[in-house]
């Protein structure tokens, strides 16, 4: 990693340089990070390249610091604001870079008739071992966690399960994906049919396949892991 520029007034590392290095190290694009904090896709690029805004908003800074597992002071917070508070303090291993903090989004991906997309600002996070992600082939993935709603993907995915979605741009292959159909988020097995058509398939045989044009859906990401209560 190249040496970081410093803030002349405080001697601290320049938060713009630090954020750029973090994004490169973790394989998270600036546009994806901008969406993570609820901003337009060019927001952080303008912050780094053009110095606008002059500094990160407190809530944006906290979300990014939690995502990267670093102290807020590395992104421009005063030293006394160096923690997230007792309710969300990261373990020491996470602060040393051994963990990746994956944002939990207050969204439901419907496994039933369809659910409206909600606010995409994270409300919490899961900590995943960086080594485990690498072993799963997910190093550099752009991950977020959302819940499953409905029963059309049972028994594979049940109502209330949380799924890990890799939103990194990758070549499409058949599999379980979260897709946006109009204003609705849906989790289905997606299969290419050819001639610009795709099929949205349920695990629960009570739900028939849905065939749509590829231009009618936006593939948000591939489902790579799930969690749920026994």
Greatest mean pLDDT among 72-86, 105-119, 146-160 lies in: 146-160
Residue 202: pLDDT over 80: yes
Tens digit of pLDDT for each residue in 203-226?
999 999 999 998 998 888 999 999
Q: What is the mean pLDDT of residues 162-185?
A: 87
- The fraction of the chain above a pLDDT of 70, given in percent, is 80
State which H helix or E strand residue 103 sits in: strand 99-110
Give the span between the Cα atoms of 37 and 72, in whole angstroms. 15
Q: Where in the chain is the domain with CATH 1.10.260.40?
A: 1-79
Give the span between the Cα atoms of 63 and 49, in whole angstroms. 21
Tokens describing residue 177: 């994906």
CATH superfamily of 100-227: Umud Fragment, subunit A (2.10.109.10)
Q: How confident is the model at residue 158 (pLDDT cuts 50, 70, 90)?
A: very high
Q: How distant is the alpha carbon of residue 159 from its chain centre?
A: 21
Give the span between the Cα atoms of 221 and 172, in whole angstroms. 10
Q: How confident is the model at residue 119 (pLDDT cuts 50, 70, 90)?
A: low
Report the DSSP beta bridge partners of residue 211: 199
CATH superfamily of 1-79: lambda repressor-like DNA-binding domains (1.10.260.40)
Predicted pLDDT of residue 138 = 85
For 5, list phi and psi in degrees, rounded to 5: -70, 160
Q: Where in the chain is the domain with CATH 2.10.109.10?
A: 100-227
Q: What is the mean pLDDT of residues 39-49?
A: 90
């Amino acid at each position: 990693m190249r040496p970081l520029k410093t803030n002349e007034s405080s001697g601290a590392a320049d938060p713009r340089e630090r954020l750029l290095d973090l994004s490169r190290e973790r394989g998270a694009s600036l546009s994806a990070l901008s969406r993570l904090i609820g901003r337009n896709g060019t927001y952080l690029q303008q912050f780094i390249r053009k110095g606008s805004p002059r500094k990160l908003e407190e809530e944006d800074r906290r979300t990014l610091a939690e995502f990267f597992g670093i102290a807020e002071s590395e992104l421009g917070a005063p030293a006394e604001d160096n923690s997230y508070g007792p309710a969300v303090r990261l373990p020491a291993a996470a602060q040393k870079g051994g963990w990746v903090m994956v944002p939990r989004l207050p969204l439901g991906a419907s496994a039933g008739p369809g659910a409206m997309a909600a606010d995409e600002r994270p409300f919490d996070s899961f900590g995943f071992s960086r080594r485990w992600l690498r072993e799963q082939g997910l190093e550099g993935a752009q991950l977020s966690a959302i819940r499953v709603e409905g029963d059309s993907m049972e028994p594979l995915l049940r109502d209330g399960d949380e799924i890990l979605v890799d939103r990194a741009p990758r070549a499409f292959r058949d599999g379980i994906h979260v897709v946006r159909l109009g204003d609705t988020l849906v989790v289905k097995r997606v299969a290419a049919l050819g001639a610009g058509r795709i099929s949205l398939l349920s695990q629960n045989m009570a739900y028939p396949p849905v065939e749509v044009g590829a231009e009618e859906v936006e593939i948000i990401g591939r489902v790579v892991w799930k969690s749920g209560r026994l």
